[in-house]
Structure 1
């Protein structure tokens, strides 16, 4: 098993944040649909090689060429939930597979919606999850679903319904969570010439549309920037981190990491086109950091990094409305609680709330990475304020979204020693 050992050294410096995986997956699928509907290839720039992008590229190639086929979604929940209704709109027989926790991640919204609109929905194994076979062609109409589920279901429908012959509506029966991701989808669709109209409680989608083929540049990933804000906050010497590649006007919901880590006490500011972060009070008790109360329903991907910052901040931090973290690559509420406690911190759960009471220093030791890239990267910050090194299992789960994270961290003076056990 691959482990990584994080130490307490960090000198800081400059980096370019990787492109947004979320925006890239949307753009690659829209590019494939542009190829199908307009016959012109789209130029998508500023892409980043990682496991989720690799499987999306392959899926896009299949969409370009076939009415039916088999799509391996790897461990990408975004790809799976986006491509199911897209494939249904194109028609034919499609089979979807995946690995890790992906076969167990919920798809029930589509199991309810698709058969009512002409598409059969059959799980090969235990009646749920993957492998999944759909067959038929999606028909237009009204699609009603709750808003307190993953916004990926809404995005999948927004991308698919413009391809249908008739007009459609998406109607939400409860308030939408993770609204930033749907805003990102709308922005990408506009770039590809697709019209979607917001209406009360949902969206109206004209049918018979064609995707255009613009030149599309993917902007920097704010969810990855959160890991380096966490590292800057916990640097024992107040090292400065400068990040390029981020858009201050980005529609990514995780741009809220500025407010989240600023709320802990990190100094964050723009200098030209770089985001600069530094803990100005690193030498004070708790590094000058303070706990806070956060509603994370719209920023779930940020929780692992913010949880480590909370573990070393004065007082209590509460991450509320965090239930959807249980349905990620791991149960991230449980994973972060167990990791923090294993390292000498104090974390507990109360329903769908993660509660952390800060300590000045962690003891170090072994934490489980739970084969979850965000858990593994978040724990780099724990090593900066631990009495002994922090060892984390499943080190190479970072390949899912950020395979160069350890290299980048070491380039900035951090310690990340990867080794094999067994």
Structure 2
């Protein structure tokens, strides 16, 4: 499916974005191994999150949809999962395959995890290595570097592990495996990555000690079912923030957005670029903060993004390239080598697609350099099967001289099924 996006005169109105993808995944996983009923409200019904539901149903968990975005999970404890009769297919979801591998490593049965072509290309050695050190019996292509992954559950050992990169998926896989270990497990990150797993583990009753980027978890807790209210996904909201910042005469309110401090690097970046984004009515439902955001058209300037900023903005960096093309001066992104092992090589892909629409951008090994105040000429681009590239190109189309035709926009449903409809609602011609 292709979509044509053309320039508009303003962005205005009030909008809500679907539930947070990371929190939705984790609510299903932890609810499945807790005791009793977990109720999840505001669940993201995207392809990726539905893959997690499908996998845990195959593992014997009763998961019932009670409303459009609400689910009940009836967990029976840490060791209640059942050996699946079929291969577990995670679709396009890297979160599902990596975090579930941590849980399955401590089970008493054999399971096999696979996914689509994108999953087959994404590195799994980064979780396989620490899980093997803990005693997990895992194999896969190229000695476990790539899926499919074959996991024979085992009694695990607690370890102390320094992750090579700041990655919530690596950290979470180890912490989830640590629930089944014989003693405490410690993860040390170079920088603090997203902390949704730690927050939710605590909410369910796990015992954690957190000291900056060092997290220690105690084994075999009694996890108890919880009520989880999922805030709006900040990474989804970021696209509308970008639209309101760069389209003239815009004023937009986005309601109920999650503002977890480890997720809002993009918000910090656009404020550093002189973007007008106001945070209103901060509140908590459980352990995650949410707020309303009010965004106005702004005169932006370029900045440099690197170091510990990167883990908090990693998913929004392709979008940042679009914003940077409309800002005064130069924007530089470094230390973002992790972008090369996402759904696509997002450095290579955003550079190629921006060039197709007339934007000058320099590719770096670990990022990119882009000069501001460029005209976006328009043209034909591809998502390359990557939802975030597709959405970033849609935002570029709002300020393009000629329309932008985006190929294969169906992949956007991986994280935000109604994105194009919501974009149309706030776009004024």
Which ranges in structure 2 are unaligned for 5 or more consecutive residues?
62-80, 282-290
Aligned residue for 2:316? 302
**Equivalent of 1:221 in 233, 252, 259:** 233
- Rate the CA distance shift 1:382–1:189 in 2: closer, same or farther, 3 A: same
- Rate the CA distance shift 1:200–1:48 in 2: closer, same or farther, 3 A: closer
Which ranges in structure 1 are unaligned for 5 or more consecutive residues?
281-287, 416-422
Q: 1:196·1:204 contact (CA, 8 Å) conserved in 2?
A: yes
**Equivalent of 1:289 in 289, 296, 300:** 300
Aligned residue for 2:52? 56
Q: 1:33·1:63 contact (CA, 8 Å) conserved in 2?
A: no
**Equivalent of 1:44 in 40, 52, 65:** 40
Give the SS at the match of 2:112. strand
Give the SS at the match of 2:15. strand
**Equivalent of 1:102 in 109, 113, 119:** 119
1:28-74 Cα deviation digits (max 9, x unpaired): 1000011xxx2x12111111211011101112223444433232111
Shift of 1:347: 0.5
Q: Does 1:5 align with 2:4?
A: yes
Shift of 1:143: 4.2
Aligned length: 395
Q: Does 1:275 align with 2:293?
A: yes
CA distance in 2 between partners of 1:202 and 1:194 (Å): 16
Q: Which runs of 4+ in 1 moved over 6 A?
A: none
Aligned residue for 2:417? 403
Aligned residue for 2:83? 68
- Rate the CA distance shift 1:200–1:414 in 2: closer, same or farther, 3 A: closer
Q: Does 1:384 align with 2:398?
A: yes
CA distance in 2 between partners of 1:270 and 1:117 (Å): 43
**Equivalent of 2:244 in 232, 238, 258:** 232
Q: 1:163·1:210 contact (CA, 8 Å) conserved in 2?
A: no
Give the SS at the match of 2:4. strand
Q: Does 1:192 align with 2:204?
A: yes
Give the SS at the match of 1:260. helix
Alignment of 1:343-382 (within 5 A): 343-382=357-396
Give the SS at the match of 1:144. strand
CA distance in 2 between partners of 1:374 and 1:201 (Å): 27
Aligned residue for 1:261? 270
CA distance in 1 between partners of 2:16 and 2:187 (Å): 39
Select the structure that is richer in strand. 2
CA distance in 1 between partners of 2:212 and 2:265 (Å): 25
- Rate the CA distance shift 1:265–1:381 in 2: closer, same or farther, 3 A: farther
Q: 2:166·2:193 contact (CA, 8 Å) conserved in 1?
A: no
CA distance in 1 between partners of 2:126 and 2:364 (Å): 27
Q: 2:137·2:152 contact (CA, 8 Å) conserved in 1?
A: yes
Give the SS at the match of 2:18. coil
- Rate the CA distance shift 1:151–1:349 in 2: closer, same or farther, 3 A: same
Shift of 1:77: 0.7
CA distance in 2 between partners of 1:115 and 1:147 (Å): 16
Give the SS at the match of 2:99. helix
1:370-404 Cα deviation digits (max 9, x unpaired): 11111111112211221100112221110101010
Aligned residue for 2:132? 115
CA distance in 1 between partners of 2:11 and 2:397 (Å): 14
Aligned residue for 1:175? 190
Aligned residue for 2:340? 326
Aligned residue for 1:23? 23
